[in-house]
């Protein structure tokens, strides 16, 4: 089973790249959360002001 | 025992991840997005957004531009995934991440599809679904109609395919208005008519590359002289198109004067390409036209912004 698997021990450089990719993905997810949060606030506040105006 | 099993699982995970690729650096994924093309898309989209009638919240405007930029980058990644074989045979593109072996085509497809779906869904949820549908169509047009069908089958590839690069200001316009207006078509037409002379100028001094890769660009199929002639006619046709924003009422005389001067110089460069057939000057002419064409598009849309700023501030 183990012999069938393609084994490759990543080099330090490959590990560093993988880590950097993971960090960028994590930050992208954080940015997405902030984006959705602010968008929700903006849309809710504009809906409230429209209702108050109408 | 547990340590051995954990070790094997770790090795298995690593082997699995590297069999699927996973070697690319963040910079390689960034390169898949074609950042230089993206900068032009962002700029023209901002122009479309600012010229459109109606109000849009600054945050919503930011989301719209972000989604258009990500959508453009996603279609660039899908294009590179599909065209990896062609890119490997051309000097200009051989160092892109996939032909270089830094990223597997499958990774680029997943990356491109994820960003495409993400940008369309976020644009729909946060802005409006007309703009989102338009963005989805733009990505489909570039990644499927242009890349998968037109590029390898007809020398008119960039004439029709140029529409994909011309849609972003219309997408941004529809983000504000929620509709597709005729006035925004004038912005589309400026980029649409600009694309053939821009790419054919490049093809004239890179046509050996396209020949090697088997891409039917106009100089390889119809010949260099026919390409020079087409560049000339398309450049002449750009003149009335450049005046359309004034006719459509979205620009005033500040833009009109700038567009006249900029387009006159474009035509002058195109005339040099058409009339000079031999010698060093003839070789340089397409390169000069190509270089100027990039500046031209930025300057045309920049003058639209200046014109709008002038009319808003009431300076003139």
B chain contacts of residue A14, beta-carbon cutoff 8 Å: 18, 22-23
Instruction: Say which of B15, B23, B63 has its CB closest to residue A5.
Output: B15
B chain contacts of residue A35, beta-carbon cutoff 8 Å: 63, 122, 126
- On whether any CB of chain A is under 8 Å from the CB of B253, the answer is no
CB B108 within 8 A of CB B98: yes
> How confident is the model at residue A45, as a pLDDT?
87
Question: Chain B residue closest to A39 (CA)?
Answer: B126
> How confident is the model at residue B16, as a pLDDT?
43
Q: In this structure, are B195 and B144 located in the same domain?
A: no
> How confident is the model at residue B232, as a pLDDT?
96
- From B180, B209, B226, the end of a domain falls on B180
B chain contacts of residue A38, beta-carbon cutoff 8 Å: 59
> How confident is the model at residue A7, as a pLDDT?
72
Is B3 among the domain residues?
no
Q: In this structure, are B150 and B188 located in the same domain?
A: no
Q: In this structure, are B144 and B260 located in the same domain?
A: no
pLDDT > 70? residue B6: no
Question: Chain B residue closest to A40 (CA)?
Answer: B126
Burial class (CB in 10 A: 0-12, 13-18, 19+), B122: buried
Number of domains in chain B: 2
CA distances from B78 to B72, B114, B132, B148, B175 (A): 10, 10, 18, 10, 24
Cβ–Cβ gap B22/A38 under 8 Å: no
Is B2 among the domain residues?
no
Q: Which of residues 47-76 of B touch A (CB under 8 A)?
A: 57, 59-60, 63
Tally A–B CB contacts below 8 A.
48
Is B282 among the domain residues?
yes
Cβ–Cβ gap B16/A14 under 8 Å: no
Chain A interface mutation, best of B5, B9, B18, highest count of A Cβ atoms under 10 Å: B18
CATH code: domain of residue B148? 1.10.357.140
pLDDT > 80? residue A4: no
List of long-range contacts for B233-240, beta carbons under 8 Å, 24+ apart: B234/B193, B234/B196, B234/B197, B234/B200, B234/B270, B235/B197, B235/B266, B235/B267, B235/B269, B235/B270, B236/B267, B236/B270, B237/B193, B238/B190, B238/B193, B238/B194, B238/B197, B238/B263, B238/B266, B238/B267, B239/B263, B239/B267
B chain contacts of residue A20, beta-carbon cutoff 8 Å: 25-26
Q: In this structure, are B134 and B240 located in the same domain?
A: no
Cβ–Cβ gap B24/A2 under 8 Å: no
d(CA B161, CA B147) in angstroms, rounded, equals: 8
Q: In this structure, are B153 and B265 located in the same domain?
A: no
State the nearest Cα–Cα gap between B118 and chain A, in angstroms.
10
Q: In this structure, are B185 and B313 located in the same domain?
A: yes
Is B141 among the domain residues?
yes
Q: In this structure, are B195 and B249 located in the same domain?
A: yes
> How confident is the model at residue B315, as a pLDDT?
65
Q: What is the CA angle B5-B8-B12, rounded to 5?
A: 140
> How confident is the model at residue A14, as a pLDDT?
85
Q: In this structure, are B176 and B189 located in the same domain?
A: no
pLDDT tens digit sequence for B169-199: 999 999 999 998 889 999 999 999 999 999 9
Question: How much helix, strand and coil, in percent to the nearest 5, is found in chain A?
Answer: 80, 0, 20
pLDDT tens digit sequence for B263-288: 999 999 999 999 988 888 888 999 99
Cβ–Cβ gap A8/B14 under 8 Å: yes
DSSP B267: H
Q: In this structure, are B38 and B56 located in the same domain?
A: yes
Q: In this structure, are B203 and B144 located in the same domain?
A: no
A chain contacts of residue B125, beta-carbon cutoff 8 Å: 39
Question: Chain B residue closest to A36 (CA)?
Answer: B126
Is B7 among the domain residues?
no
- From B156, B180, B204, the end of a domain falls on B180
Chain B interface mutation, best of A7, A9, A34, highest count of B Cβ atoms under 10 Å: A7
pLDDT tens digit sequence for B15-74: 444 445 678 899 999 999 999 999 999 999 999 999 999 889 999 999 999 999 999 999
Instruction: Say which of A2, A5, A39 has its CB closest to residue B126.
Output: A39
Cβ–Cβ gap B14/A24 under 8 Å: no
ipTM of the complex: 0.82
Tokens encoding B172: 């941004």
- On whether any CB of chain A is under 8 Å from the CB of B262, the answer is no
Instruction: Say which of B12, B15, B25 has its CB closest to residue A17.
Output: B25
Q: In this structure, are B169 and B190 located in the same domain?
A: no
Mean pLDDT along residues B104-114: 95
d(CA B204, CA B192) in angstroms, rounded, equals: 19
Mean pLDDT along residues B114-135: 96
Q: In this structure, are B261 and B159 located in the same domain?
A: no
Is B50 among the domain residues?
yes
- From B131, B146, B180, the end of a domain falls on B180
> How confident is the model at residue A49, as a pLDDT?
80
Q: What is the dihedral of CA B78, B79, B84, B86, to 10 degrees?
A: 160
d(CA B82, CA B193) in angstroms, rounded, equals: 26
Q: List CB contacts of A47: < 8 A, sequence separation 6 or more.
A: none
Write out the residue range of the structural domain in which residue B103 sits.
Answer: 13-180
User: Average pLDDT over chain B, rounded to whole?
Assistant: 90
> How confident is the model at residue A35, as a pLDDT?
94
Is B1 among the domain residues?
no
Cβ–Cβ gap B19/A8 under 8 Å: yes
CB B118 within 8 A of CB B75: no
Is B168 among the domain residues?
yes
């Amino acid at each position: 089973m183990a012999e069938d698997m393609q084994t490759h021990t990543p080099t330090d450089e490959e590990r560093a790249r993988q880590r950097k990719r993971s960090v960028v993905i994590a930050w992208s997810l954080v940015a997405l959360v902030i984006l959705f949060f602010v968008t929700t606030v903006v849309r809710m506040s504009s809906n409230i002001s429209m209702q108050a105006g109408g | 025992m547990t340590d051995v099993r954990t070790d094997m699982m770790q090795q298995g995970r690593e082997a699995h991840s590297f069999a699927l690729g996973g070697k690319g650096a963040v910079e390689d994924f960034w390169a898949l997005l074609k950042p230089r093309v993206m900068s032009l898309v962002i700029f023209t989209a901002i122009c479309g957004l600012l010229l459109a009638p109606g109000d849009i919240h600054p945050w919503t405007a930011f989301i719209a531009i972000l989604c258009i930029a990500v959508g453009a980058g996603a279609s660039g990644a899908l294009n590179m995934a599909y065209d990896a074989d062609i890119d490997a045979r051309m000097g200009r593109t051989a160092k892109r991440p996939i032909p270089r072996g830094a990223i597997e085509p499958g990774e680029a497809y997943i990356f491109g599809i994820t960003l495409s779906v993400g940008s369309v869904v976020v644009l729909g949820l946060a802005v409006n679904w007309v703009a989102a549908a338009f963005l989805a169509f733009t990505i489909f047009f570039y990644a499927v109609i242009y890349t998968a069908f037109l590029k390898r089958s007809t020398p008119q590839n960039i004439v029709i395919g140029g529409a994909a690069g011309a849609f972003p200001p219309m997408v941004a316009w529809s983000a504000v208005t929620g509709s597709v207006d005729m006035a925004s078509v004038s912005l589309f037409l400026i980029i649409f008519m600009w694309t053939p002379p821009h790419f054919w100028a490049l093809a004239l001094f890179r046509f050996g590359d396209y020949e090697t890769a088997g891409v039917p660009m106009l100089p390889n199929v119809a010949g260099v002289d026919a390409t020079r002639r087409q560049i000339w006619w398309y450049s002449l046709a750009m003149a009335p198109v450049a005046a359309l924003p004034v006719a459509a009422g979205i620009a005033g005389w500040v833009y009109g004067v700038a567009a006249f001067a900029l387009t006159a110089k474009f035509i002058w460069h195109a005339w040099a390409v058409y009339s000079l057939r031999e010698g060093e000057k003839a070789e340089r002419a397409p390169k000069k036209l190509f270089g100027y064409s990039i500046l031209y598009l930025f300057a045309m849309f920049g003058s639209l912004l200046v014109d709008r700023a002038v009319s808003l501030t009431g300076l003139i």
